[in-house]
């Protein structure tokens, strides 16, 4: 399958064998009972390695499985409330949001406006700001509060850096 005249050959022990004509590399692979595998086709000349192809394929699959295990799937959770939510209920929902964030999930905080409540969307902003103040410092606002039909929502996610404070709140001074 290798159609170039010569290849840079790497032995089965990882040692460089130099630039070798392709038929010679195929003969060496046959003598050792191994396969000639092109590992870097974009190089000039292409890099080929003497190895057991079945074992090589297995190792590649094993690496892919390991990398998939290490990936963390971030889920989106949603908490819904109304603009006329009471203080205790808000604290209760804030605790749930904090639990979701501690688990590494993103949270969409949604306020549903019904009937005439839609005329007072500023109440929704006040509720979402209050909710942010109830959450820990390690929260990032991915999407600021915005209206979507009869709903106002924002998306928050966990972060390592502290939340940016608004201009009305003074930043904490570092006195070390």
CATH of the domain at 49: 3.10.20.80
Residue 66 located in a structural domain = no
Give 161: exposed, middle or buried? Use CB within 10 Å, 0-12, 13-18, 19+.
Answer: exposed
Mean pLDDT of the chain: 86
Sheet holding 6-10, edge to edge: 16-21, 6-10, 47-51, 35-40
Paired tokens of 35: 């396969």
Same domain assignment for residues 119 and 48: no
| pLDDT (0 to 100) of residue 173 | 47
Same domain assignment for residues 33 and 87: no
Residue 60 located in a structural domain = no
Look at 35-39, 82-86, 165-169 and tell me which has the smallest mean pLDDT.
165-169
Q: Which residue has the higher pLDDT, 94 or 165?
A: 94
Same domain assignment for residues 37 and 100: no
Same domain assignment for residues 44 and 90: no
The pLDDT > 70 percentage for the chain reads 90
The mean pLDDT of 1-6, rounded to a whole number, is: 84
Same domain assignment for residues 49 and 113: no
Residue 43 located in a structural domain = yes
Same domain assignment for residues 152 and 81: yes
Query: Is residue 162's pLDDT more than 60?
Result: no
Residue 169 located in a structural domain = no
Instruction: Write phi, then psi, for 160 (nearest 5 degrees).
Output: -90, -25
Q: Does pTM surpass 0.85?
A: no
CATH number of the domain enclosing 100: 3.30.110.10
Give the domain extent around 111.
76-158
Residue 176 located in a structural domain = no
Residue 93 located in a structural domain = yes
How many independent structural domains does the chain possess? 2
Same domain assignment for residues 51 and 117: no
| pLDDT (0 to 100) of residue 1 | 73
């Amino acid at each position: 399958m290798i159609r170039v005249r010569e290849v840079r050959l790497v032995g089965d022990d990882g040692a460089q064998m130099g630039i070798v004509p392709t038929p010679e590399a195929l003969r060496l692979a046959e003598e050792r009972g191994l396969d000639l595998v092109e590992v870097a086709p974009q190089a000039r000349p292409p890099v080929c390695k003497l190895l057991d192809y079945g074992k090589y394929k297995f190792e590649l699959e094993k690496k892919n499985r390991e990398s998939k295990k290490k990936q963390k799937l971030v889920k989106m959770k949603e908490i819904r409330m109304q603009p006329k939510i009471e203080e205790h209920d808000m604290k209760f929902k804030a605790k749930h949001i904090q639990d979701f964030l501690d688990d590494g999930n993103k949270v969409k905080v949604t306020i549903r406006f019904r009937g005439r409540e839609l005329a007072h969307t500023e109440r929704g902003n006040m509720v979402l700001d209050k909710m942010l103040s109830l959450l820990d410092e390690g929260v990032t606002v991915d999407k600021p509060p915005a209206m979507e039909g009869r709903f106002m929502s924002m998306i928050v996610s966990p972060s390592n850096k502290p939340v940016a404070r608004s201009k009305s709140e003074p930043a904490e001074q570092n006195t070390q």
